[in-house]
Amino acid sequence: MSNWKTIITFTLPSDVYVAQSYLETEGIKTLLKDEVVSQENAYAVAVGGVKLQVKEENYKQAVEILKHGGYTPDTKFEDQQIEMVSLNQNTVKTKCPFCNSVHIGLKKEPNRLNAFVIFILGMFFPIFRKPYVCSDCGKEWKYVHK
């Protein structure tokens, strides 16, 4: 039995169906995780959205198919590394430090227990704070004081 791996996450179930159909027409079997729970808008954010999953052995092929289809830039897949950006008095925290986009936010944590622990520890220990993510270039980063 093969393991399933999340390739991309969508906030609403209606958004995931196009990407799912695209992969399946290319011969990649898919699975939707948290689809039913996310159909209620109030719970979509709580569970981290709908996860489109593929078998581990098809992951790299599925990434290439989605890139080719224009669904997401290369950096939005979960193999993303979190960059450390030094924070000084000239840092503008409302823009992405890589592409200067204003479409940034905190990365959503799908697990409620993780979110709770990060919230509690993040207040006292900045290393446990959630990373920022840019929706344009897909980079993830945390600010560090130097």
Domain end among 76, 96, 130: 76
- Please report the pLDDT score of residue 68 as a whole number: 83
Range of the domain at 57: 4-76
Residues 11 and 72 both lie in one domain: yes
| Cα distance between residue 57 and residue 1, in whole Å | 11
| Number of domain units in the chain | 2
Residues 8 and 37 both lie in one domain: yes
| C-beta of residue 131 within 8 angstroms of C-beta of residue 141 | yes
- Please report the pLDDT score of residue 74 as a whole number: 45
Residues 53 and 117 both lie in one domain: no
- Please report the pLDDT score of residue 139 as a whole number: 79
| Cα distance between residue 74 and residue 71, in whole Å | 10
| Cα distance between residue 53 and residue 32, in whole Å | 6
- Please report the pLDDT score of residue 75 as a whole number: 42
Residues 68 and 111 both lie in one domain: no
**pLDDT tens per residue, range 100-110:** 888 887 776 55
- Please report the pLDDT score of residue 73 as a whole number: 47
Residues 87 and 56 both lie in one domain: no
| Cα distance between residue 7 and residue 110, in whole Å | 14
Render each residue's pLDDT in the chain as its tens digit; 146 residues. Answer: 568 888 888 776 777 888 899 899 999 999 988 777 666 655 555 566 788 899 989 988 998 888 887 776 444 455 557 777 888 888 888 888 888 888 887 776 555 666 666 666 665 554 456 788 887 777 788 877 76
Residues 19 and 62 both lie in one domain: yes
Domain end among 76, 107, 132: 76
Length of the chain: 146
Residues 90 and 135 both lie in one domain: yes
Q: Is 23 exposed, middle or buried (0-12, 13-18, 19+ CB in 10 A)?
A: buried
Residues 63 and 98 both lie in one domain: no
Dig out the tokens for 14 from the structure: 């209606």
